[in-house]
Structure 1
Amino acid sequence: MKDYLLLIILNLLCFGVFAQNGTLKGKVYADGQPLPSITLRLSGAGGATKTDGQGFYQFKNLSPGTYILSFSGLGYQSQSQKITIKKEELILPDVLMLVNLSNLNEVVVTGVSRGTVLRKSPVPIAVLSRKAMDQHVNNNLIDAIVKGVPGLSAVTTGPNISKPFIRGLGYNRVLTLYDGLRQEGQQWGDEHGIEMDQYGVSRVEVVKGPASLTYGSDAVAGVINMIPETSSFKEGVIKGDFTEDYHTNNGMFGTSLGLGYVKNDWKYNFRASGKLAHSYRNKVDGPVYGTAFREYNLSGSVRTDKKWGYTKIAANLYDNLQEIPDGSRDSLSRKFTRQVLDDGDDLKNRPLVPEGELITYKIMPLHQHIQHYRLYNKTQLKLGTGSLDVLLGAQQSIRREYNHPTLAEQPGLYVVLNSFNFDLKYNLPEFKGIESTAGLSGMYQTNRSKNATDFPIPDYNLFDVGGFLFAKKTFGKIDISGGLRFDHRHIRWNDFYVGQNPQTGFDQQVRGAETADAKLQFPAFDHSYKGLSGSLGLTYNLTERLLLKANVSRGYRAPNITEIGSNGLDPGAHIVYLGNRSFVPEFNLQQDIGFIAYLKDMDISVELFNNNIQNYIYQTRLTDAAGEPVVVVPGNLTYQYQQAKARLYGAEFSLNLHPEAFKWLNFNNSLAYVRGTTMGQNLPLLPPLHIRSEIKFSSERNYGFFHQPYLKFEADVNAAQNHFYGLYNTETYTKGYTLFNAGLGAAIKNRNQKKLFDLFIQADNLFDVAYQSHLSRLKYFEYYENSPNGRRGIYNIGRNFSFKIVVPI
């Protein structure tokens, strides 16, 4: 009986307690759209929650009383309000979040575990919007980014091939991402560009230095993440844009159509783009034969947002027909010549290129055909106040390089690279102010040669896996973040034999009984590489607008396939590569320190870095005992990879003036400097001192159809490069130059203030300066020791006007 009475009393007490508890509900939105992942904290209740995919939030079991409810989200102004719980359920009015216009709180997701505010990250990070890229003349995506990020440069092979370098390091040391997925597309080659649609990227984030823990090997220089567009507008209507772009120098036409649709919880995006161009020209070389290109892109994605999180499926198709000049000319007239024979080809007796073929949109028979296909899924599952992020991707890169004039349909290089990527990240619930993430990521990759005649690399299999732990916490004015990662990479290949094709007379891969009389070009190889990487840094908020940042990071990079396995001619690069199987991984230790001031009338940024690299891998020309260049394939250079200690150091400085009293004026300036040495020599491919200044006049008024027009003038100063890798004449001195550019633009609206289109007009190299960039590979495309006009190699593009319109749909 006593037990029953006790049970009744307990039930009554419980009923009374729960009867007094209440529930708090509401919705958060911005720009008419619900906001997911907004954090809410209720003072005194000891808990926090986040909005779901429809912007809803809920607190349960709240005792009656007065609370302070705070709202915060990346990229939005934090706010709070006092509420009183008096009944079982309280539904608050919708909360409008205001976008934080200050770049102090720019949202950044690259190179870290979860969304991070720019001001809190100790790692040097730069962010570039599509609008900023639209205001420059861009033949390709990397060139668009280089013009907006100090410390970022590009090694180029003509106007449509640019490989990103961060602070003097490039190739596999810069990890390029598309929507967080590793870009895998034979990036080891000099003339292998980035297979992405420049019109389909809405935002670019650049991490400088080896502080990316999420992605593993190959990020010792930094990370570049290309983020595609996502529909975010009123439901039930199709919206998008149509872009038309024309360049006068190489006749480039760029066209892109992007469409988006939102319905209920679903978002759809589609884009189709195309570019074609004939050879570019300058006043020294005239039309540069072999620099035309034709590129097509298709992309699409579907995303749904639910209470449990979101999932997105996306696909991309890239197709590029790309010419590569070989630099052959007539020794006296300096006019371009072309190869017409395989056997018996004589550089001195090649015929001149007909005038009608110097400027034509027709792709010449000797060219590259690059195709890249990408399919991936991104999913986030909300697990209480934590979340699980899953990224699965598959890519295929197909590269054909045609270099046989007597058998044009026979590719010299034909490789197919298949990559499968996975990335799992668990964002743990916040614990005592600590936000942490644990993750596992990796890649399985196969490379196979097809019907080719040249084999610079073997067929190989690669498996990569690594795990990491990252955490960050704020102590008053100090934000601290860091983590550790361990990676393991296994790479192997079987014996690879090359023999003669009796039908064509060219080399071919042979197997089975045919290997008896064949050459063993790549003996079997089986090896594993391991590495530990990590970073630790802090940001000290002197005030809301004065910041000090410091970071120490250790990077790891396993040798790439050419560095350990190459043994043959890359016909597109005109280089015979020789690798070294005994190479060990690169490790670097970089120190960064920075000062940032966001003042009323100006922004100031100073970033200093020092980077020590163990086992740095680089290539140098192969010479014989007499110091003469070794020629393995006539007309092609021979490079051998080496490994040694190296050091890079430098600085980036920016000063942007935006006087409060003259809101129409902006004066932006940046400076980037880097030095690098190894074994008493300068490192190869170091960019010279680079200064960029831009003065921009922007009106807040409208002038007829022109809505808020702007006018800008730029000076792009590149100092002479005296610090070059001169051993065996691998590189030579490069003269300094200054390019002057100008641009104007406006939104064109009708009398009803409806936008018709955005107009961008830009002129680069206004005074048609003849110059050679130190990072242009065409500078070294020369076959004669002496030139009748005193100029060697191929010069960069001359004066170029760009006309671009972006029509909203």
Structure 2
Amino acid sequence: MKSLLLIFLSTLVLKSNGQNKLVSIIVKDNIKASTLNKCSIFSLNSAVSGVTDDFGVFSFPAAKVKSGDKIVVSFTGFKNDTILISGEKSIYRVFLQPAQQLLEEVVVTGVSKATHIKENPVAVISVSSRTIEKTIESNIIDVLTKNVPGLTAVKTGPNISKPFIRGLGYNRVLTLYDGIRQEGQQWGDEHGIEVDGYNLERAEVIKGPASLMFGSDALAGVVSLIPRLPKEKDGKLHGKFTSEYQSNNGLIGNGIRLDYSSEHWMFVGRGSYRLAKNYTNKADGRVYNTGFKETNLAFTAGYNSPKGFTTLNATLYDNLQGIPDGSRDSLTRQFTKQVLEMPLDDIKKRPVVTDDELNGYALSPLHQHIQHYRIYTNNQYRIATGMLDANVAFQQNIRREYNHPTETNQAGLFVRLNTINYSMAYTESGITNMDISVGVNGMYQSNVNRNGTDFPIPDYRLFDAGIFGHAKWKYNKWTISGGVRYDTRQLKGNDFYVAKNPATGFEHQVFPPDTANARPQFPALRQSFQGTSLSFGITYQLNNHINLKANIARGYRAPNITEIASNGLDPGAHIVYIGNRNFLPEFSLQEDIGVGLEYPDLSASLSLFNNSVQQYIYLAQVVDAQGNPVIVEGNKTFQYQQASAHLYGLEAILNLHPKNLTGFSFNNAFSAIRGINTKPDFKNTGVQGEYLPFIPPLKLLSSVNQQIKTSSKVLRQISLTAEADVNAAQNRFMALYQTETATPGYTLVNFSTGADIYYGKNNCVQLQLQVNNLFNAVYQSNLSRLKYFEYYTASPNGRSGIYGMGRNVCVKVVVGL
């Protein structure tokens, strides 16, 4: 009754101001029949968006929509519902069903327009902000790997995780932030993702070739990180404060977001700070030089109109990041530190790191400093029966890696990457049952070496452009989609000379004509690549419970700068990289089939994939004639190789949530991946070349969850979760050239409990207590590069390399403002 009275009064006020009539949506819980406030409302066809008020009502002028438009209603813990706007109807009542499965989730990444997951033939998973907040890990990529089967990460310490999708990573996985491709120095093992993990609305992960929409570097898939924009248009200030502490490495993290939105204007400010010292485990004690200090700032201003919106955005990321080198005393296994320059440095005579250095927050003088800046604009406007999207961005990535103990202000690697991104796409929805999109996107890059002493890659300029067309046809239970794309990439660079600086004794870059006594580090670069991408997929809604999908896609990727032209030391990774200018682009052909089930007592999905990659590029360690690793001033040497590869596997999800056990669920996610080098020379050679590197083992993540809802208006919900993270042994590895070793299996047990405490009208405080690695297991992931940070062929305790984080007690508080 209150809802109807509110709608009636609003309509009178609106008419008195001479405006159009209102369309109102009333949202209720289908089980309890209670109204649901702060439900997300947005249109798939127009600029309408917002949240329901305290009475579960959302109203907007009818002039903003037209007959046939679709309005999506979503709320955490419930199935989405979609309203079809029709005729003169002005009031819509929506009853949301509680849900465990997310087939109804709407995604926007890698499709022509917002669409339901069940209508997308590509394997895609959406991770909500609530799930991100409840998963306490070291960084946002680790959070996603806990929630997306098939997504793993190559790690170089707690704050550096590079996403891998179905066994493929580096420049094969494209990371997006707010729709803008993330461009840093993605080629390095120890180069992380430069984003703020505290202020995300959600994340979307596409598994499989996404080259059709994004071009090169999306061969394996896309990780799309979407910051929150305000949905409330009430002219009030809203926000969120996040604070956490993790005991293992003393991580202290704080983040804040404040936002304001009226009918037309929107403003958002975000900031966060994270500080951590060295992490610890039973095998290594405190692992020297694994701490970090990370700062993020961001600002958004936007304007909304009935036809669309424009936002102007700016972000700043600044990270001081420790990177261990793994040097130790040969007998005590205590960590040691470098104090002399090469060639005077002797790994066996380095001094032991003091307790103060191990246990304090101060970083070693030998660390990385990464800065990433963005300024960009997102624009979306309705034109007739279609929608135009246009984005332009400038971003700058500056990376310094300090590796000189006697000259601590002298960077070894010092590179600056400037990138201009552009994209424009038009989607026509006026054709019956069909959406058709055409667009262009690409980037221009300029990468230069600054005042460094190590030069793994040359200066270069890159121009990338692609044009695509995509169509989606939906009729009854069928959805058919497909498209084609053409890409071209140009790489250019001048001759690059290096000479010894007589003032410092270090090498430095010199320029013509002053190249006397200099040596050529890189010859001039003139490379061009072209490729065509294709995709075709079908989904079929068999009935209300079963959804089927199939997709076939051809992906394209141009070789990155290190694969083509590298010839030097990356001091942070402790690796000398050697490239090959004769490399050809990679092309993949991947087939996917999937089935999704949703019943009152269970939900499940199964995805199978088969991926053949032509001209696959991979790293192999260089050895001498006796089979010993080639070491250059204490650093291993790796050379890029090219062959063909075959990857196949599956992901399965089974969630049990019996209706008669209120709040209980038993959730399971399983993934299995096999990677084979199909070069004839390696056929049937097993670990001596047949298996690809960086392939994760079988993985099962199982959790038992109990949510307890109370009758209290303050403490409304308590949750308990016990989780087992089971990782099988990886005995299919690349032993050739001593690139990898076998990895034993391990299981990590985690426990968490949380509570939702409400204050004021509907403001909420979320409390979370979590213990990761409850039993303090000693383990190494086969995707951890720290596993290979070892200088000795034998050790007194039989352990080699650095182990993963031990028991970690975490506390997190999220306060709605």
Q: TM-score, structure 2 length as denominator?
A: 0.90
Give the Cα–Cα distance (whole angstroms) in 2 for the partners of residues 363 and 80 of structure 1: 57
2:328–2:334 CA contact under 8 A, matched in 1: yes
Counterpart mapping for 1:83-482 below 5 A:
93-95=90-92, 103-343=102-342, 344-482=344-482
1:688 to 697, 700, 708: 697
1:112–1:212 CA contact under 8 A, matched in 2: no
Deviation at 1:754, TM superposition (A): 5.6
Gap change, CA 1:82 and 1:410, over 3 Å in 2: closer
Give the Cα–Cα distance (whole angstroms) in 1 for the partners of residues 451 and 318 of structure 2: 19
Deviation at 1:70, TM superposition (A): 5.8
Deviation at 1:35, TM superposition (A): 5.8
1:775 counterpart residue number: 783
2:732 to 716, 719, 723: 723
Deviation at 1:92, TM superposition (A): 5.4
Post-superposition Cα deviations, 1:355-387, rounded to whole Å, max 9, x if no partner, equal 111011111100000000011101112101101
Give the Cα–Cα distance (whole angstroms) in 1 for the partners of residues 421 and 68 of structure 2: 39
2:568 counterpart residue number: 568
Q: Which runs of 5+ in 1 are unaligned?
A: 1-22, 40-48, 63-68, 84-90
Post-superposition Cα deviations, 1:468-507, rounded to whole Å, max 9, x if no partner, equal 0000112332211111110000001000000011111000
Counterpart mapping for 1:29-108 below 5 A:
37=43, 55-58=60-63, 72-75=70-73, 77-79=81-83, 93-95=90-92, 103-108=102-107
1:506 counterpart residue number: 506
1:27 counterpart residue number: 23
1:235–1:264 CA contact under 8 A, matched in 2: yes
Deviation at 1:238, TM superposition (A): 1.0
Counterpart mapping for 1:355-754 below 5 A:
355-631=355-631, 633-678=632-677, 679=679, 680=682, 681-702=690-711, 706-749=715-758
Give the Cα–Cα distance (whole angstroms) in 2 for the partners of residues 353 and 145 of structure 1: 34
- SS of residue in 1 equivalent to 2:144: helix
Give the Cα–Cα distance (whole angstroms) in 2 for the partners of residues 251 and 80 of structure 1: 51
2:800 counterpart residue number: 792
1:12 counterpart residue number: none
Equivalenced residues, count: 762
1:434–1:472 CA contact under 8 A, matched in 2: yes
2:16 counterpart residue number: none
Give the Cα–Cα distance (whole angstroms) in 1 for the partners of residues 595 and 667 of structure 2: 17
2:685 counterpart residue number: none
Gap change, CA 1:760 and 1:82, over 3 Å in 2: closer
Gap change, CA 1:432 and 1:70, over 3 Å in 2: closer
Post-superposition Cα deviations, 1:268-301, rounded to whole Å, max 9, x if no partner, equal 1111100000000001100000101000000111
1:33–1:232 CA contact under 8 A, matched in 2: no
1:484–1:532 CA contact under 8 A, matched in 2: yes
Which has the higher mean CA deviation after the structures are superposed, 437-446 or 476-485?
476-485
Deviation at 1:735, TM superposition (A): 0.5
Deviation at 1:57, TM superposition (A): 3.6
Deviation at 1:707, TM superposition (A): 2.1
2:55 counterpart residue number: none
Gap change, CA 1:755 and 1:382, over 3 Å in 2: closer
Give the Cα–Cα distance (whole angstroms) in 2 for the partners of residues 410 and 648 of structure 1: 43
Give the Cα–Cα distance (whole angstroms) in 2 for the partners of residues 129 and 655 of structure 1: 19
1:367–1:403 CA contact under 8 A, matched in 2: yes
1:56 alignment partner AA = P
- SS of residue in 2 equivalent to 1:264: coil
Deviation at 1:202, TM superposition (A): 1.6
- The higher radius of gyration belongs to 1
Give the Cα–Cα distance (whole angstroms) in 2 for the partners of residues 81 and 111 of structure 1: 26
Q: Which runs of 5+ in 2 are unaligned?
A: 1-18, 27-36, 51-58, 74-79, 683-689
Gap change, CA 1:533 and 1:149, over 3 Å in 2: same
1:499–1:518 CA contact under 8 A, matched in 2: yes
Give the Cα–Cα distance (whole angstroms) in 2 for the partners of residues 753 and 607 of structure 1: 43
- SS of residue in 2 equivalent to 1:516: coil
1:785 alignment partner AA = T
Gap change, CA 1:226 and 1:677, over 3 Å in 2: same
Give the Cα–Cα distance (whole angstroms) in 2 for the partners of residues 789 and 36 of structure 1: 59
Gap change, CA 1:80 and 1:253, over 3 Å in 2: closer
2:771 to 763, 780, 783: 763
Gap change, CA 1:588 and 1:238, over 3 Å in 2: same
1:4 counterpart residue number: none
1:28–1:97 CA contact under 8 A, matched in 2: no
Deviation at 1:25, TM superposition (A): 5.8
Give the Cα–Cα distance (whole angstroms) in 1 for the partners of residues 303 and 325 of structure 2: 49
Give the Cα–Cα distance (whole angstroms) in 2 for the partners of residues 136 and 460 of structure 1: 40
1:459–1:493 CA contact under 8 A, matched in 2: yes
2:388–2:426 CA contact under 8 A, matched in 1: yes
- SS of residue in 1 equivalent to 2:359: coil
Post-superposition Cα deviations, 1:33-62, rounded to whole Å, max 9, x if no partner, equal 9966465xxxxxxxxx986999434599x9
Give the Cα–Cα distance (whole angstroms) in 2 for the partners of residues 639 and 82 of structure 1: 63
Gap change, CA 1:417 and 1:673, over 3 Å in 2: same
Give the Cα–Cα distance (whole angstroms) in 2 for the partners of residues 482 and 347 of structure 1: 57
1:706–1:748 CA contact under 8 A, matched in 2: yes
Which has the higher mean CA deviation after the structures are superposed, 235-244 or 214-223?
235-244
Deviation at 1:541, TM superposition (A): 1.0
Give the Cα–Cα distance (whole angstroms) in 1 for the partners of residues 85 and 418 of structure 2: 53
Gap change, CA 1:428 and 1:753, over 3 Å in 2: closer
- SS of residue in 2 equivalent to 1:514: coil
- SS of residue in 1 equivalent to 2:213: coil
Deviation at 1:514, TM superposition (A): 2.5
2:471–2:483 CA contact under 8 A, matched in 1: yes
Tell me how large the CA RMSD over aligned residues is: 2.2
Give the Cα–Cα distance (whole angstroms) in 2 for the partners of residues 594 and 162 of structure 1: 28
2:413 alignment partner AA = L
Deviation at 1:749, TM superposition (A): 3.3
Deviation at 1:96, TM superposition (A): 5.7
- SS of residue in 2 equivalent to 1:720: coil
Give the Cα–Cα distance (whole angstroms) in 1 for the partners of residues 20 and 371 of structure 2: 54
Post-superposition Cα deviations, 1:339-367, rounded to whole Å, max 9, x if no partner, equal 00004000000000011110111111000
2:731 alignment partner AA = N
Give the Cα–Cα distance (whole angstroms) in 1 for the partners of residues 267 and 558 of structure 2: 38
2:10 counterpart residue number: none
- SS of residue in 2 equivalent to 1:767: coil
Give the Cα–Cα distance (whole angstroms) in 1 for the partners of residues 345 and 40 of structure 2: 67
1:52–1:306 CA contact under 8 A, matched in 2: no
Give the Cα–Cα distance (whole angstroms) in 1 for the partners of residues 86 and 783 of structure 2: 59
1:34–1:55 CA contact under 8 A, matched in 2: no
